[in-house]
Structure 1
Amino acid sequence: MQPTLNPEPATGHDLVLADKWSIKLYRYNRGDIVLLRSPEDPNMMLIKRLLALEGDWVTIPGSLELAKIPKGHCWVEGDNPEFSADSRSRFGPVPIALIEGRVRYILWPPSRVGRVASHVPAGRLLVKNDDALTDSSHFGAF
């Protein structure tokens, strides 16, 4: 999740606080950083940004393709696209049930203590599930 987490790997790793109750209560949003089980290895935990929820449309980087997120799934991405195994590069939509927590705070190192910002990177989420996909102006960016 560099550069959001561990911006300087030579100085060590960020220790974060993950809120597991938010997930159980369905309180998560596009742009949140989440803790999830790897779709490839259930023993491995990943930290990724939650980009899209079921019914949303996302652009596929490097192509003109769009992906609609199926029911019960979400789209997760790391903040460093060149070095991230995520929905965009490897997994595609992942089951939302794999999400185990929402990363809320950086606890260590002391110089980085604070709340973790939630945001959706510009140009990645094309249409939210509550938007109508009938207007061709949504495709003007291509």
Structure 2
Amino acid sequence: MYQIAWRVLKVTPILIAIEDCLYGPAFVKGRSMQPTLNSGEHDSNDLILADKWSIKLYRYRRGDVILLRSPEKPGTMLIKRLLALEGDWVTIPGSIEVEKIPKGHCWVEGDNPDMSTDSKSRFGPVPLALIEGRVPFILWPPSRAGRVNSHMPPGRLLVKNDEALNDQSRFGAL
């Protein structure tokens, strides 16, 4: 019994470090990411894998599903789709407004606009520092296990910052 307890004590810090810095599971609650996540019955909760290492290496891109801290309640985690990065211009649905994403910020939205509290409905641009992980896989339920696709909703991103930079290099610096 002593040996088992000792082994558990030795492994626990390693497991905590892996979950905190590299990869960890998280449950998805709510309907803001339907049909991508929680597409089952009302009470379904998908279990996803959060890739935290990618965020530390700045390996995220437009269209990724991400795990982030709520700008209003830092103890609450949200899962949204990353639509725009600093310097990008996005359209605001239902209006003629466009928004330029400021430096150090991003624009996030749920896939189910009627059920999502996000950049367009409440937060506006959110700090990149709030991003905790990318969501590459659904782990549970087994019937839905697999890769989470990265994609952009059509017509939302007007200009990507890297396109603006390419235009400047083609036509000379402003």
TM-score by length of 2: 0.75
Computed over aligned residues only, the root mean square deviation of the Cα atoms, in angstroms, reads 1.4
Name which one, 1 or 2, has greater alpha-carbon Rg: 2
Aligned to 1:119: 151
Matches within 5 A, 1:42-81: 42-81=74-113
Mark the CA change 1:114 to 1:123 in structure 2 (over 3 Å): closer, same or farther: same
Between the aligned partners of 1:65 and 1:10, the Cα distance in structure 2 is 34
- Quote how far apart the aligned CAs of 1:130 are: 1.8
1:36 aligns with 2:50: no
Runs of 4+ in 1 over 6 A off after TM superposition: none
Aligned to 2:134: 102
% identity of equivalent residues: 78
Between the aligned partners of 2:70 and 2:112, the Cα distance in structure 1 is 17
- Quote how far apart the aligned CAs of 1:132 are: 3.3
Task: Please identify which structure carries the higher helix content.
Answer: 2
Aligned to 1:138: none
1:85 aligns with 2:94: no
Corresponding residue pairs, total: 134
Aligned to 1:3: 35
TM-score by length of 1: 0.91
Give 5+ residue unaligned stretches, structure 1. 136-142
Between the aligned partners of 2:144 and 2:93, the Cα distance in structure 1 is 31
